[in-house]
Amino acid sequence: MHPDLIFHQFFESESSTYTYLLADRAGGESVLIDPVYETIDRDLNWVRELGLKLVYVLDTHVHADHVTGAGEIRRRTGAKTALSASAGVACADVSLRDGDELAFGRFRVRALETPGHTDGCMSFYCEGRVFTGDALLIRGCGRTDFQQGSAERLYDSVHQKLFALPDETRVCPAHDYKGLTASTIGLEKEFNPRLGSGKTKGEFVRLMSELRLAQPKKIHEALPANMACGEKGGPP
């Protein structure tokens, strides 16, 4: 990672969500990836303490397990909200397509469309790190049984977009439930029990079809709120 790129990883325990802060040390422009409504004050306190200017708030997808902090952070800071055009979120300031780039200071975040967990999933690559949302987790992946999920599309997204990155690329997911904080593309290609280890698409599709998962606890609150950038139906 470039020595002038500031990187911080934060954790929200209720939904086991990781939020990431990236910033240009020289100019102070920064981006926040996957903020959670309940931890807005924590995240913005870091931005203030480090003397940063938040220019973009990115969501990797329309989350079903927590309410995004994007809209409220936009209201407080003037930062622009951005996510995949395929997510269909009309209130977003920037609708991203595959290959689009967002600049913050001397650095850029490149958008990679990685649908499958949801139709509008997008990963973000920056300086040797890829922020994979729920498309690729550490030794796992997101579910594919709702929000236009498709095991076939997720397999293709991971193998064609994410596993095509250099092996040393750091994997920074949106969640972890086992206390793991980071991995690499090379490690996931070798050890991910769902998508790596030479698993075929047919094996993956069968594996995902046999999962019997309960709905996320906050799905009925989170989905409508997140389609409105977290500003409607979110916590008071």
What pLDDT digit, counting tens, does each position of 158-205 carry? 999 999 999 999 999 999 999 999 899 999 999 999 999 999 999 999
In a domain, 140, yes or no: yes
What pLDDT digit, counting tens, does each position of 105-116 carry? 999 999 999 999
In a domain, 73, yes or no: yes
Q: Using CA atoms, how far apart are residues 187 and 181, in angstroms rounded to an integer?
A: 13
Count of positions (residues) in the chain:
236
Domain count for the chain: 1
pLDDT at 22 > cutoff 90: yes
Q: Using CA atoms, how far apart are residues 218 and 99, in angstroms rounded to an integer?
A: 32
pLDDT at 100 > cutoff 70: yes
pTM of the model: 0.95
Q: Which domain holds residue 131?
A: 5-226
In a domain, 234, yes or no: no
The enclosing domain of 164 has a CATH number of: 3.60.15.10
In a domain, 232, yes or no: no
Q: Using CA atoms, how far apart are residues 11 and 64, in angstroms rounded to an integer?
A: 17
In a domain, 72, yes or no: yes
In a domain, 127, yes or no: yes
CA distances from 167 to 70, 159, 183 (A): 31, 12, 10
In a domain, 176, yes or no: yes
What pLDDT digit, counting tens, does each position of 37-81 carry? 999 999 999 999 999 999 999 999 999 889 999 999 999 999 999
In a domain, 110, yes or no: yes
* C-alpha angle 60-229-22 in degrees, rounded to nearest 5: 45
